[in-house]
Amino acid sequence: MATIVGVRTEEGAVLAGDRLLVADGTVRSEDKRHVFDLGEAGAAAVGDSGGVDEFHRRLESEVEAHEVEDDEPMGLTLLANVASDLADDEGVEAIVAGRDDGAAGIRGIGSDGSVLTDDVVVFGSGAQVVLGVLESREDGIGLDDAEELARDAVETASDRDTDTGGEVDTYRLADE
């Protein structure tokens, strides 16, 4: 299982995740995306590869349909509710980033559909290592520093967790 992280700062939100796909103890791919850019929203997911793919496909479809029908980006609260239903259906854990009233934020989504609201959310095999790295962060860091910190945290996890890879993707969303 890969590792994903979401960080909310005073300037916006950042998602990061590695690209390693491990199944039954065997590396299946070093190029499996777990972080997805959905335009004015972002998502990251871990779990069974097929579940992650289906979660991404369905969430992207919901976000695009909302933007066409309502002529505005999907807000964070609605995004989290939609992602909650999809994560429960697909058995994945996810983190979504979006804006409500111009402020970017993140929500953690459990595989049972539960929604977590916090400034830091981590899922996956390297979660404990990532949380240890993130505990050292300073308050009030900017978006650039948060992106670097999230990337460094996942890379550190890859040094200590065989199911987390060193190639890291990020998504960032600034406050309006």
- Using alpha carbons only, give the angle 15, 20, 21 rounded to the nearest 5 degrees: 115
113: left (phi over 0), alpha (psi -120 to 50) or beta: left
For 52-93, the pLDDT digits (tens) are 999 999 999 999 999 999 999 999 999 999 999 999 999 999
Token representation of residue 7: 């960080």
pTM of the model: 0.95
Contact call for residues 79 and 149 (beta carbons, < 8 A): no
Q: Is residue 154 part of a domain?
A: yes
Domain range spanning residue 99? 3-164
Mean pLDDT of 124-140: 87
Phi, psi for 119 (deg, rounded to 5):
-80, -15
CA distance 105 to 20: 26
Q: What is the CATH number of the domain that holds 121?
A: 3.60.20.10
CA distance 67 to 52: 22
State the distance between the two ends of the chain, measured CA to CA, in whole angstroms.
34
Q: State the pLDDT at residue 23.
A: 82
For 12-61, the pLDDT digits (tens) are 999 999 999 988 788 888 889 999 999 999 999 999 999 999 999 999 99
Higher pLDDT, 133 or 61: 61
Q: Is residue 15 part of a domain?
A: yes
Number of domains in the chain: 1
